[in-house]
Structure 1
């Protein structure tokens, strides 16, 4: 790729789970840390969120385990269509994506990945940044999350 993804920008591993409370307790025990807070984000209409090119409407339970500048994210999707539900239904518990912070190269990297034939599975915007899940699991064994800033 002309606009390569730097190892320095590797900031996240996201794991989709069927039972976030069980997973959070197990990871906490594994790392000998307090159980991370579990946030429940109910389904909401959001014009800045798409799934497979259409407006997305789904809920998600989320827990973050912060390790320095790196994050292990646990995701438990609800029953609505989403990239996380798609993954869980297809694979069960597992690593959904690796997250990369790429700064101002975000649009160029996304463009190159689209030219290479990768579909943008989910695109979300929030104040000050965005996130794009690149559907790469068939080729790479995992999806990619491309973000300008964490």
Structure 2
């Protein structure tokens, strides 16, 4: 790639699970840490969130395990269409994406990935940053999350 993704920007692994409570408890035992808080984001109309080019509407249970500057994210999707539901229905529990913080190169990297045939699966904007899930699982075995800032 012309716009390199730095190894220093590797910040997260996101795992989609059928049962987030069980997964959170198991990871906590594995790392000998407290069970991470599980948050619920209810489905809501959000003009800053798309899935496969259309406005997205889905709920999600989330838990983060902070490992230094690195995060393991657990995601349990609801029944609505989303990148996470798509993955769970297709693969079951597993690594949905690797996340990279790329700073001002975000648009150039996403554009180059699109030119290479990797479609943007989901785009979400929030104050101060964004996240873009690039559909690369058929070739890489995992999707990519390209973020300007964590």
Task: Assess same fold via TM > 0.5.
Answer: yes
How much does 1:49 deviate?
0.2
What does the per-residue CA deviation read over 1:112-136, in whole Å, with 9 as the maximum and x for residues that have no partner? 0011111000000000000000000
> What is the CA-CA distance between 1:27 and the residue it aligns to?
0.2
CA distance in 2, matches of 1:111, 1:92: 29
State the match for 2:102 in structure 1: 102
- Secondary structure of the residue aligned to 1:90 is helix
TM-score w.r.t. the length of structure 1 is 1.00
Q: Shift in Å at residue 20 of structure 1?
A: 0.1
**TM-score normalised by the chain length of structure 2:** 1.00
Q: SS at the partner of 2:3?
A: coil
Tell me the distance in 1 between the aligned counterparts of 2:67 and 2:114. Answer: 32
Question: How big is the shift at 1:60?
Answer: 0.1
Give ranges in structure 2 of 5+ residues lacking alignment.
none
Following the alignment from structure 2 to structure 1, what is the Cα–Cα distance between the partners of residues 22 and 82? 22
Q: Aligned residue for 2:126?
A: 126
Q: Equivalents in 1 of 2:41, 2:110: separation in Å?
A: 27
Alpha-carbon RMSD across the aligned residues, in angstroms, is 0.3
After superposition, give the CA deviation of every residue in 1:78-137 in whole Å (9 maximum; x if it has no partner): 000000000000000000000000000000001100111110000000000000000000
Structure 1 unmatched runs, 5+: none
- Give, in angstroms, the shift of residue 38 of structure 1: 0.1
